[in-house]
Amino acid sequence: MRERRPFYMTKFHCIGGDCPDTCCRDWEVVLDEESAAFYRTVPGELGGLLRASMTELDGEPCFYLKDGLCPLLNAQGLCRIQLELGEEHLSRSCDLHPRFAEEYGSLREWVVSMACPEAARLLLSDPAPVTFVEEQTDEPVSGCNDLDPRLFFSLVSLRKTAYGIVQDRSVDWQTRAARLLSLAEAYQRNLDQHRLSRLDGVIRRYAEGRYPNHLSLNTPDWSLLDTLEPINATWNTLWRQTRDFVPTEEVETTYHQATASWDHQWEHLLMYFLYRYVLKAVNDRQVLPRIRLAVYSVLWLRRMELAQFAHHGWSMEIRMDLLHRYSRQVEHSADNLQKLHTILTKTVI
C-alpha cells in the first residue's frame, strides 16, 4: 500500500487542554464495537460513567452529549479515558480524529481536518507551498476498491494540474481560482458527454497555461449557507453577522491592506480542498461541484472574515477560528456537505 499525506500532517499532535476548542463538542462520539465492549467491563466510578454515557445512534454505540460536550471530559477539557485508562483504550474514532484516510486501490491518502484548530494553524502558518510526503508500506491492498482505472488516473492528472494553477504565485489568488473553475467546467463538460478521449487535451491545455480569455471570479450567492443545518449557536451568530454585513469600499481597502501579505493562506486552503475531495469523483463522476466547493469555501470564509474585520480588526486567531468552525459546520455534517454538493452540481454561482 502506498500512503500519502500533506507535509504539515507529519508535525501534527493533539495539544489537549491548550486547544481553544475541543473535538468532543457538538457531535456524538461514535464507538467501535471492541472499545464499547471494553468500556462495559471497566470497574469503579469511571466504569459507571462510561456505561451511563453510552447509547446507540443509527445502530452504532456512541457516547451521548451532555450540554453539547462528551460526558467523559473533565473540568479541564481533557479525556478521562486517556487520563485514567491510557491512550491505547481510546476508541478508534477518538484516536484517529482529526485524521481521516481515503483508499483508492493501492493508494491511501491521509488528511488532517481543518475542524481541528491546531491542524488549521499548521496549514496556515507556513508560507511555503503545500507539498506531500509518500511512503510504501508492506500492508496489502484491501481489494475493496472497484475503481474505473482510466477515470482515476485522469483525475490524478487533473488534480496535479489544478495544484499547478493554484500555486502559481505570479498572479493573485482570485485569478488562480477563476482559472481553476474554468478547468473544472471544461473537464466536467467533456466527462458528462462521455468524451473521455478529450479529457487529456483539456488537462494539457490548462497545464500549459492556455486559459480562456477574460476569466473572472463571480461573487457567490451568500444565501446558500442559509440552507445549512446549524451545528451550534456560535455558527448561527457568525453567519448572521456575515449575511447582514454590507462592506464599504473603505473597509474592503483597509482589509486588503491588512491581509495582503497572508494571501498564501487562501492558496493553502484551495490545496486542502482539492487534495481532500477531487479524487472522490471517481465514485460519481462529479468533479465540478467539488472544485466549486473548494473555491466558494474560500470566498465564503473571506466574506465571514471581512465581517469580523469590520468589528474586531484582523488576526490569525480570527482566521483560524473561522476556518475550524466552517469545517465543523460543512465538512463534518454529512447532511450539510451533501446539500452543498447537490446545489453546486446544479447551480452556476
User: Would you state the pLDDT for residue 77?
Assistant: 79
Q: Looking at the DSSP assignment, which residues form a beta bridge with residue 62?
A: 30, 55
Task: Per residue of the chain (349 residues), give pLDDT as tens.
Answer: 899 999 988 888 877 777 777 777 766 778 889 998 999 999 999 999 999 988 887 888 888 888 788 888 888 878 899 889 988 888 888 888 888 899 998 899 999 999 888 999 999 999 999 999 999 988 887 766 678 889 999 999 999 999 999 999 999 999 999 999 999 999 999 999 988 889 999 999 999 999 999 898 888 877 788 888 887 788 888 888 888 888 899 999 999 999 999 999 999 999 999 999 999 999 999 999 999 999 999 999 999 999 999 989 999 999 999 999 999 899 988 899 999 999 898 765 5
| Residue 47 exposed, middle or buried by CB count within 10 Å (0-12, 13-18, 19+) | middle
User: Would you state the pLDDT for residue 63?
Assistant: 87
Query: Distance (Å, rounded) from C-alpha 163 to C-alpha 274?
Result: 8
Q: Dihedral (C-alpha) 337, 340, 344, 347: value to the nearest 10 degrees?
A: 160
User: Would you state the pLDDT for residue 145?
Assistant: 66
- Burial pattern 229-268, b for ≥16 Cβ within 10 A else e, equals ebbeeebeebbeebeebeeeeeeeeebeeebeeeebbbbb
What three-state secondary structure class fits 343?
helix
User: Would you state the pLDDT for residue 348?
Assistant: 54
What three-state secondary structure class fits 280?
helix
CB–CB of 99/74 below 8 Å?
no
